[in-house]
Chains A and B, each alone.
Chain A
Amino acid sequence: EPEVTQTPSHQVTQMGQEVILRCVPISNHLYFYWYRQILGQKVEFLVSFYNNEISEKSEIFDDQFSVERPDGSNFTLKIRSTKLEDSAMYFCASSEARGGSAYEQYFGPGTRLTVT
C-alpha cells in the first residue's frame, strides 16, 4: 500500500542552524502539506502546496520557513534559523486533489526535530 515517507526520523540541531526535512508523498497525489505537533499539543497546519506553489499557509509559517519540490518525488520543509520553540514532530501529508475522498490526507511517520 502506498505511503508517505519522511527522513530523517529524528534531527537534532543547534539554535540558529538551518534544517531541511524531507518527504516523499504518495506518487499520484497532487496536494502536499506540512503539519507540526509540539509535545502534548494539537496537530497544527503549517502549509499546503499544489502545482508548485504554496496554496495556503498558517501564521506559524513565517519567513523562516520555506517549502520546495526540488524534483518529481521529494517535498521539503526548510527552517532557516531554528529556535528552541521549533522543537516538535513535523508531519508531511498528501492528498489526491479536490473533490470527494480526494480530500483525505495521509500522513507520513514524522520527523522529530530537537533544537538545543
Chain B
Amino acid sequence: QKEVEQNSGPLSVPEGAIASLNCTYSDRVSQSFFWYRQYSGKSPELIMSIYSNGDKEDGRFTAQLNKASQYVSLLIRDSQPSDSATYLCAVRSGGYNKLIFGAGTRLAVHP
C-alpha cells in the first residue's frame, strides 16, 4: 500500500516567521510531488510541484525534495495569517497520473 505521511499539526507559527511542513512517502519509484493548500470547506489549490532532487522556489514558497530519503518539504517564508490552512502533500507514482494524498498538516499563523 503506497502511503504519504504528514504530521497532522496544528503547526503554529507567528506572523513573519518561516513555516516548515514535511512529508514522507513509501513508494521509491514516485516521480512527481505536489503541495496543495486547502482552506476549510474548499477544494485543494495547487501551490508547488517538484520533480527533481533539490530546492524549487516560487515567491515565498520553497519545495525541497530528497528522493534518497523519500522526503519532501515545503517552506513558507514571511508567513501571513492568510496562509492559515491545511497543506496537503500529494505524490504521483508509476506510469499513471493518480495522486496519493497525505492527510495534511494544519498551519495556524497568528498575528
Contact at A107–B97, with CB atoms within 8 Å?
no
Contact at A58–B97, with CB atoms within 8 Å?
no
Chain B interface residue bracket vs A: 20 to 34
Is A101's beta carbon under 8 Å from chain B?
yes
Contact at B96–A44, with CB atoms within 8 Å?
no
| Closest A residue by C-beta to B96 | A56
> Contacts A100-B51, A103-B49: A45 and B103 contacting too (C-beta < 8 A)?
no
A75 cross-chain contacts in B, Cβ below 8 A = none
Q: What are 23 A-B pairs at a CB distance below 8 A? A: A35-B99, A42-B101, A42-B103, A43-B44, A43-B88, A43-B101, A48-B97, A55-B96, A55-B97, A56-B98, A91-B44, A95-B97, A103-B49, A103-B97, A104-B34, A104-B46, A105-B34, A105-B99, A106-B46, A107-B44, A107-B46, A108-B43, A110-B42
Show the binding face of A for B, using Cβ within 8 Å: 31, 33, 35, 41-45, 48, 55-56, 58, 89, 91, 95, 98, 100-101, 103-110
Show the binding face of B for A, using Cβ within 8 Å: 32, 34, 36, 42-46, 49, 51, 88, 90, 92, 96-104
